[in-house]
Chain A
Amino acid sequence: MERKIGTLGKLIRTASNPHASLTANVTRHCKADLVSSFGELYVPKEWAATTGKQPEATGIPVGSWVIPEDVRPDCALLPPKKPSLHLRGMELESMRATLMLESATEVPLATEAKKYYRAKLASGSVAGSTVVGSDSDKHRRRNYSVRINSTEEFFLPDRTVGKRLVSTFGAVLYYAAVFIDGRPMSFAYVQRVKSAKDRSGRYGYSAMNYGIETFLGLGGSTYYLPVAALSEVVETIEREGVHYVLHTREPFSVSE
């Protein structure tokens, strides 16, 4: 209702007779909408050619790489991307370690990957990465801090090892699409956060202040993890040198 009212103001063209002006312009808009919807529905090609506006594309953008191991069809790595390149040094070591964890039967010595910088997550939100351009720090909203669905092992009273789900945090450096072990795989290259609970940033655990998850900053270890393990993009606010992770609300519409 409020948004509808917001559109009425610009339809009043004259202060001397506002209601007549408003009524006439609403009628004109209704008629124009009827014309447009008819054109888009019955003669879409001709209408698009005449207006110069193609129908809005639905689904994931062209050039995206659908994440195969995720259940949601629109979960994908989004363009832009870089051409395939060989991973080297730390990146290659991390990839090999990750592939072993993922139980790949064949872990190659050399790995070729395509790098992406944005991903649509299973939660529906779009996560970015730290490397998106020279102006990324100043002018862009930060959308690369992510909550990660992890598991941790712990000792049960009978000295056996149990597993439980925990949330860890990190910043996505980039996303990599690889073809290994006869199947396509997608990974996020993540730098873990440091916190009062995990000062070296080895695991990415957060600490708790006032019942709110906090961390001190980035700079922890880097590693690859499946993109499907990224839970959501988190928002943070800094207070006295500590980053507080805020409750993530479900937006009515996603604009990124």
Chain B
Amino acid sequence: MAPGGAFDCDCFTCTDGGRAGPKRVSRSTLYIQRKHEKRRRLDPPSVGSAPDDDGGGSSTSAGVGAGDGAGAGAREGAGAGAGAGAGAGAEAAAGAGASASDSVGAVAGAGSRWSDSGPAGNGRRCDADETPGSSEASEASDPGDVPTPGIETEIVPESEVGHAPTPIYQPSVSTNELRLPIGQFKDHIADLALHACTVRHDLTQASIADLLKLSSTAAKYRTPFLMERFIDASVNLETRAVDCCINGCVAFTHLHTQQTVCDACGAARYAASGKPAKQVIYWSLIAWLAHRLGDPVIGKAMLKNMAAARTAAEEGADGVHDYPHSENFRHYLDRKLLDGGPFIPVNVGTDGFQFFRQNGFEGWPVTATPQSLSPNQRTRNKHQLLLVVTPGPKQPVDLESFLHPIAEELNELAKGVPGLIIPNSTTPVTLRAGVLSFTTDQPGGDKLFQSTGVSSYVYNRLRLFKGVYVPASSHIYFPRTDPSNGDVFFKVLNCTAPRRTEASIAASAAEIENARAEGKSVAYQTRMQQKSGVKGYSLFFAPSPAAREAYPHLKDLWDMGLTALPYDTMHLVLLNVVPHLWRLFAGLKLVNKKKDEDYIMPKVTVARIGRELRGARRTVPMAQAMSLRNIEVHHKSFKAIDWMHFILCSGEFLLAGRIPSDYFDIFMALSRACWLLFRPRGVLKTEIEAIDKDLKYFVSSYYTKIYRGTTERLPLCRSTIATLLDIVPLLWACGPA
């Protein structure tokens, strides 16, 4: 017995089929688990009719060990842990105790910090777990901790259940996989199909229970509990629990690992019982990539695409047709990261979302999309791999603290994860991956970059465009010239505004951090932040010395600088610039309440435009626009897809002859640029030049004809207008949107 009233349980569930050491559980849990071990019919991993007490694992270990060299015999099999997998003999392994877990720690290997999401972890540890009373001690999600009511009544005859699953093989890279051989999959196909169906349709527990009770159901596991147990034992999904603040402020990672209270809100990390107050689950990127690459169909296609991408990058192209022609991919190629095994370029995305506004839940999911998939597959939801969702209920105070476990994995992937078994290769290969770009909206990008956002004098990410503060509205605007004295802030054509580089960002961040460390006043720090637009170190763009030390292999990503953080054209153009233009032309955005601007259409015309657009619903094919709504009535609820149709198709017709030709030309310049920008098949060099020309004409004409250089019209100088000038450089850097 371990101190603190905890017991070492080494049943199949707790040891993950012998792959891990015994787990500390409460006495009641131990009792239930041991009782469960005796009920062979409920124990999925038991093998055939091998007796309980002779180490049923011996036969299993032999079968599995053939593949990966695990030890034979029940006790050694349990000790081998990560290699063996399905050792059943709970009684035999019970004496292994600490030695078993030690050996697991020694053998764990590359993916050792991650645990599968089965009924119990496999003893692997993460950095957040290295503190006393860490997350692993709790395992709040352990179903064994919760006595299941009516469990005795759920027992079904063994003959009905049949033999239980055994793992196929255990590659050295932890991968998300189904652990059933094909024969056993066929035996349990009714259960598995029913489970997949109920999950897909989001059936409630009660409805699943009713469904399973039907006499016509072919499933062998007849209660939701048994079904879940079976699925947990059959499917390996690598997850990791990391402690976080109960209010969702920070995750206790990296430099916060040793903290016992949240430094944002002061909430305690642990509950009175010693368990972490809250944990956030991470789904392993390495495991997902290994799963995709190990798939005989998708994996082969990915390998083929990788080879084609490399060839395309080496040969070059006239323009940018896909990510291989981007500068960021060539950056990896030049650094020889594409040599020596498969390299998967990844696009990481994050954005905030809100649900239950009254209760206030806001989460920030982080996803990763392997770019080695075909363009058609990349856009599918199933291939956008969810890595974490921040716990809420509000947005995290320190988003970066939630990104450290992901950075850790990216660091491992940049270094190379050896031992991956892929199709068409007899020997294990080393898996590598690197981030090509981050996809976010502007506030999300500001959080990743640790930028002050629109409240700084320098907002633009790529260039140092200076802004003008207007005290009346407490806003900063971005004109080309200072209206008070005529100083030129930036030029649209032949722009000489200095570019931000990786070194300049790092210098700005260091300056702020030094001021903070020296104890300068908050006002002083704020002034510095507003001048540089940088709040401090950022994990992926201007790392702190500690981060550089912790993730040395992310250097290639850091060297890319802010070209890895492109503006999302959907948000920038479709949700900012285009609606802004419509509001200007429809008279919804007034300057000093003046309604007689020459670009403002009469209300009657606006109403007619709305009716015409609504009336076009029948004459526009579904492939071009799913729904067409009255823009006069519904413009506030227009989605990006609606604005895209407006700027690409209907806007030209609706505005022609209704606004003066000067303004129509401005609109059409943006429209022409968007025709090429939002084309899925990439763009030629001449077309990129045409985009650049049109965007510059748009920005230049906007400032000349709409802003007109007066102080009272400064609110028209939005940051998004100047930001359009960055689209073309970022298109070269990251590839098509």
Contact = CB atoms under 8 A, between A and B. Distances in A.
Interface of A: 1-5, 7-12, 15, 18-19, 22-39, 41-43, 46-47, 50-51, 125-126, 140-143, 145, 209-212, 233, 235-239, 243-244, 246-256
A4 B623 contact: no
Given A30-B237, A236-B619, A19 B389 contact: yes
A231 B601 CA distance: 36
A214 B197 CA distance: 51
Interface in B652-688: 652-654, 656-657, 671, 675, 678-681
Given A1-B351, A4-B365, A19-B280, 4 more contacts: A32-B196, A142-B621, A212-B656, A238-B616
B187 to A, nearest CB: 11
A249 B624 contact: yes
Interface string B370-396: 000000000101101010010111000
Given A36-B196, A38-B185, A249-B675, A237 B619 contact: yes
Which range holds the interface residue count of chain B? 35 or more
B622 A255 contact: yes
Interface of B: 117, 141, 176-178, 180, 182, 185-186, 189-190, 192-193, 195-197, 199-200, 202, 231, 234-235, 237, 239, 248, 280-281, 283, 291, 295-297, 349-351, 353, 355-356, 359, 361, 363, 365, 367, 379, 381-382, 384, 386, 389, 391-393, 439-440, 570, 612-613, 615-626, 640, 644-645, 648-650, 652-654, 656-657, 671, 675, 678-681
Q: A15, A39, A253: which has the most chain B beta carbons within 10 Å?
A: A39
Contact of A238 (B350, B619, B645, B650): B619
A19 B381 contact: no
B200 A256 contact: no
A244 B653 contact: yes
Contact of A212 (B291, B363, B382, B652): B652
A51 B193 contact: yes
A8 B363 CA distance: 10
B648 to A, nearest CB: 5
Contacts of A29: 199-200
Contacts of A38: 178, 180, 185
A5 B353 contact: yes
Contact of B237 (A27, A41, A126, A236): A27
A46 B192 CA distance: 12
Q: A237, A244, A252: which has the most chain B beta carbons within 10 Å?
A: A237
B653 A19 contact: no
Contacts of B349: 1, 4
A27 B281 contact: yes
Contact of B389 (A8, A10, A140): A8
B624 A235 contact: yes
Nearest to B639: A2
A179 B143 CA distance: 69
Contacts of B654: 237
A2 B351 contact: yes
Contacts of B657: 210
A236 B248 CA distance: 51
A9 to B, nearest CB: 6
A1 B182 CA distance: 35
Nearest to B190: A50
Q: B196, B280, B616: which has the most chain A beta carbons within 10 Å?
A: B196
B621 A256 contact: yes
B198 to A, nearest CB: 8
A246 B650 contact: yes
Nearest to B204: A13
Contacts of B297: 41
A142 B645 CA distance: 17
A178 to B, nearest CB: 27
A247 B679 CA distance: 13
A30 B176 contact: yes
A238 B367 CA distance: 43
6 contacts: A30-B237, A36-B196, A38-B180, A210-B656, A235-B620, A249-B649
Contacts of B192: 35, 39
B196 A35 contact: yes
Contacts of B652: 212, 246-247
A39 B619 contact: no
Contact of A249 (B176, B365, B678): B678
Contacts of B350: 1
Given A30-B237, A247-B648, A47 B193 contact: yes
Contact of A23 (B189, B235, B281, B679): B281
B314 to A, nearest CB: 28
B351 to A, nearest CB: 5
A143 B353 contact: no
Contacts of B622: 141, 143, 255-256
Contacts of A25: 202
A51 B199 CA distance: 13
A252 B650 contact: no
B680 A1 contact: no
Contacts of B645: 249
B680 A26 contact: no
Given A10-B202, A237-B613, A42 B389 contact: no
A34 B287 CA distance: 12
B379 A252 contact: yes
A141 B620 contact: yes
Given A4-B386, A141-B618, A19 B649 contact: no
| Pairs of residues from A and B, 10 with the lowest C-beta to C-beta distance, nearest first | A210-B656, A32-B199, A1-B349, A237-B616, A235-B620, A246-B649, A143-B621, A50-B193, A38-B178, A31-B235
A43 B189 contact: yes
Given A1-B367, A247-B652, A19 B196 contact: no
A128 B723 CA distance: 42
B392 A18 contact: yes
Nearest to A7: B381
Contact of B355 (A18, A51, A125, A209): A18
A4 B352 CA distance: 12
B379 A32 contact: no
Q: B193, B200, B231, B349: which has the most chain A beta carbons within 10 Å?
A: B193
Q: A3, A36, A246: which has the most chain B beta carbons within 10 Å?
A: A246
A90 to B, nearest CB: 27
Q: A3, A11, A30, A140: which has the most chain B beta carbons within 10 Å?
A: A30
B381 A4 contact: yes
A38 B176 CA distance: 11
A235 B199 CA distance: 40
A19 B391 contact: yes
B105 to A, nearest CB: 25
Given A22-B363, A31-B235, A34-B176, A235 B356 contact: no
A4 B185 contact: no
Nearest to A128: B621
B384 A4 contact: yes
Contacts of A26: 283, 386, 389
Contacts of B649: 235, 246-249
A255 B641 CA distance: 14
A41 B295 contact: yes
Contacts of A247: 648-649, 652, 671, 675
Given A18-B356, A35-B235, A39-B193, A125 B623 contact: yes
Contacts of B382: 33
Contact of B363 (A1, A19, A30, A51): A19
